[in-house]
Amino acid sequence: MQVNTFDVIERRKHLIMFKLGRRWILKHYFDNKEVFKELAENYDKDNYRFEFKTIGERNKALKLLDLRGYNVELVENLKGYVVKMSKFDRYAPVLKNSVAFVETTDWRIFLMKDLDAVEEALKLGAEIYEGLIRFDVLFKT
């Protein structure tokens, strides 16, 4: 009896890289330490994210991630990825899955790392934010 064999296609991971002003931002925990090391010069340890300040840096990262089995979606329109919570709500679980956040007088506004994180935030009491918000004002340079 002959054994059936078939090709197994490795499943690629999907990441989202957001354009905030002139920078491109990515938040992901890489299990593979080599991938992290290759991107480390762009890691912002204070905000737990990768920041690419130039198109060249972004393109270098995209190529590297593609070679390592990641599909990266570039997102410039943040609509659907931004949620808000009252300043009085517990927000730590939402913050954990956010790429950036700002505070207003009444709200904490979060840019979530992907649509799964948006869904989780909604379950935790967040609401979709429909207004315009500039996360790029967070950058020092």
Residue range 58-69, pLDDT digits in tens: 999 999 999 999
User: What are the start-end ranges of the E strands in 6-81?
Assistant: 13-20, 23-26, 43-44, 49-52, 70-75
pLDDT of 53: 95
The model's confidence at residue 56, banded by pLDDT at 50, 70 and 90, is very high
Give me the chain's average pLDDT, please. Answer: 90
Cα-based distances in Å from 45 to 18, 27, 40, 118: 18, 11, 10, 23
pLDDT above 60 for 105: yes
More confident residue, 51 or 31: 51
pLDDT of 132: 86
The answer to whether the beta carbons of residues 80 and 115 sit under 8 Å apart is yes
Domains along the sequence of the chain with CATH: 13-75 (3.40.1170), 82-138 (no CATH)
**Residue in the block written with tokens 């808000």:** 84
Count Cβ atoms below 10 Å from residue 4 Cβ, excluding itself. 5
